[in-house]
Amino acid sequence: MIRLNNHKQGFIFDPWSFLGEKRRKLLDDSWAGIFQKEILPILPVIELFPFFNPSFGRPTKELHTVIGVLILQQAFDLTDQETVEQLSFNVQWQYALNITDQSDESAYISLKTLWNNRDILSAHNLEIKVFSVITDKLRDVFGVDITKQRLDSVHIRSFMQKLGRIRLFSETIHRFLINLKRSNETCFAEIDEEIINRYLTEKALGCFSRVKPSESPKTLETVSKDLYTLVIQFENNSEVCGMNTYKLLCRVLTEQCDVSENTVTTKSPKDIPSDSLQNPSDPDAGYSGHKGQGFQVQIMETYSDDKDDTVLNLITHVEVEPAHVSDAHALIPALESVNERDMKPDELLADTLYGSDENIEKAAEMQVEIISPVSGRNKKGRLQDFSLSENGHIVSCPQGHQPVKTRKRNGRYGAAFNSENCRNCPMKDSCLATHGKNYHYVNYSDKDIRISKRREYEQTPEFKDRYRFRSGVEATMSQYDRRTGVKHLRVRGLESVRYCVVLKVAAVNIFRAAAVRSARNRVENPGHILFLSLYRIFKIVKELFRFFEPDSCDKLVIISE
């Protein structure tokens, strides 16, 4: 049976009056007040209805409480046991979840209930719905300006060990042998006893982590041959081929080795694909040559030109990818995601990898201006040094010489210059013009024109003034990690990693909203600020009297009383 409370309905008598006025105000001004009043009533509990019988069975834990607890667990980076304890004894959590009594039904959640509901959310990507609902609500409550946003990524790691190639081979074989022994003893008995002794005992397996550098090539050759032997031995056994651990064997063999005429050789590191298996415990993780193994999180947020504490910078989009995926592929999906929720920006700041010409053009079709530097450098000459007409044809070269003729064919432009002028030109070594049969030619395309205009715009004060706000997203990444511990997760696999990452982003939005509300309250109560300022001045004057005239301090104290 499904159990729900109506958190939009008020109380005749205030159940929190026992806290006192000052402690109650602290709660209202904190994240707990934001959570209770704005977030808790709109949590998408209806998404959990299909997984419970509405009229049969034991009543569920109150569903608003369940989703709220899962959010707060990720917000404070707690273990399951710590989460149960916080719900049971932390008044701030109980205030945030609007738990007004101390019964076990309300203020306690079992570990199994926590696990089951977390599995439901992660298996069906319901954390995305939770994030969207919270973000949309905070946007409406705080009047967030979504016209200006910025995009960047941050590298994170799942709960997996960093393995070298030898350990990767040995761990994959070890897991396969254990799985095969449990599920099919007949096939396990067919394996060479030497392989079993080498990989199945913990003592033998630990030897692979202590291989000397001088012995690494020989050891790597041995483990690759053993892996190939196991793959060939069971390649015609449909039951074994269906095992996930056997599929990992095949994946490692394909990615790490070259097989020819029953001979196995390991590939050079540069020939191994970046999406290769990094650890059999987390097959979804990728590899970035710049940042290493793990995943990356794409984050888009709003920003303001002014340093105003009363303006909420809201994270509007989050996506998790294996580390090997390029940032260039993330921009358009991010824009499509926010567009579906009516949060599309007018202009978006992003670094060089996002600003490919293809992305710029696709974003322009969506009426979004991408402000990003152009990648790469001109190897020789610059098209922006030439004068171009409105239709894209060259009017003159950097030295003022006009072309003999121009043409346009299949989207490509060409201009021919007098070879005599070009041979005597002082800029001939750095010019785009190349020597041809009759003339010196400059060939370019519409894409070259667009990139040339972007390079020229990059040098203007206007671009530098607009683009300087992109660096603010780095502070967001720092806050994201400091507050929620996102860079070192306790889970493995893309599904579980996405669940944690998305709920942690939702928590960051809540923390930011609480800070903004507190700042707005200070602005709306200038008398309180004036009182604090006068009090600080009094304390400073009192300390000065104590330092210079010790006898005057007592008089000052009497006057103040």
Tens digit of pLDDT at every position of the chain (561 positions): 888 888 888 888 888 888 888 999 999 999 999 999 999 999 999 999 999 988 888 889 999 999 999 999 999 999 999 999 999 999 999 999 999 988 999 999 999 999 999 999 999 999 999 999 999 999 999 999 999 999 999 999 999 988 888 889 999 999 999 999 999 999 999 999 888 888 887 665 666 666 777 778 888 888 899 999 999 999 999 999 999 999 999 999 999 999 988 788 999 988 998 889 999 999 999 998 888 899 999 999 999 988 888 899 999 999 999 999 999 999 999 999 999 999 999 999 999 999 999 999 999 999 999 999 988 766 556 777 787 877 778 888 888 888 888 888 877 888 888 887 887 787 777 787 778 877 888 888 888 888 888 888 988 999 999 999 999 999 999 999 999 999 989 999 999 999 999 999 999 999 999 999 999 888 877 655 555 566 567 667 766 766 565 554 454 444 444
Query: Which of helix, strand or coil describes residue 419?
Result: helix
Residue 403 carries which DSSP code? P
Alpha helix (H) residue ranges in 315-418 = 331-340, 357-365
Q: What's residue 551's pLDDT? A: 52
Q: What is the predicted pLDDT for the residue at 486? A: 94
Find out whether 146 and 317 touch, Cβ atoms under 8 Å.
Answer: no
| DSSP H helices in 429-549 | 446-458, 461-467, 472-484, 494-524, 526-548
Six-digit token string for 536: 């600080």
pLDDT (0 to 100) of residue 553 = 46
Give the separation between CA 330 and CA 153, rounded to whole angstroms. Answer: 9
User: 306, 292 in Cβ contact below 8 A?
Assistant: no
Q: Provide the sign of the torsion angle of the four alpha carbons 318, 322, 324, 330, taken in this order.
A: negative
Q: Give residue for tokens 């009192």.
A: 542
Kindly state the tokens that stand for 558: 């009497």
Between CA 73 and CA 90 the distance in angstroms is 13
Q: What is the pLDDT of residue 510?
A: 96
Polymer length in residues for the chain: 561
Distance of CA 413 to the CA centre of its chain: 41
The DSSP element (H or E) to which 287 belongs, if any, is strand 286-288
Residue with tokens 């099919």: 184
Per-residue CA distances from 132 to 7, 346, 447 (Å): 20, 20, 37
CA 560 to chain centre: 55
From the centroid of its chain, how far is CA 346? 22
Specify the pLDDT at position 521.
86
Give the whole-angstrom CA distance, residue 551 versus residue 545.
8
Of the candidates 363, 364, 358, 318, the residue with the CA atom closest to the CA atom of residue 337: 318
Whole-model pTM? 0.85
Contact 417, 403 (CB under 8 A): yes
Query: Contact, 241 vs 235, CB < 8 A?
Result: yes
CB atoms within 10 A of CB 495: 16
Instruction: For Cα atoms 514, 515, 521, give the angle at the middle one, nearest 5 degrees.
Output: 90
Alpha-carbon distance 166 to 161, whole Å?
A: 13
Torsional class of 449: left (φ above 0), alpha (ψ -120 to 50), beta (otherwise): alpha
The pLDDT score that the predictor gives to residue 428 is: 74
Closest CA to 403 of 392, 429, 448, 411: 392
- Residue 132 pLDDT: 96
Tokens of 164: 């070298």
R_g (Cα) of the chain, nearest Å? 32
Q: What is the per-residue pLDDT for 249?
A: 94
Distance CA 462, CA 443 (A): 30
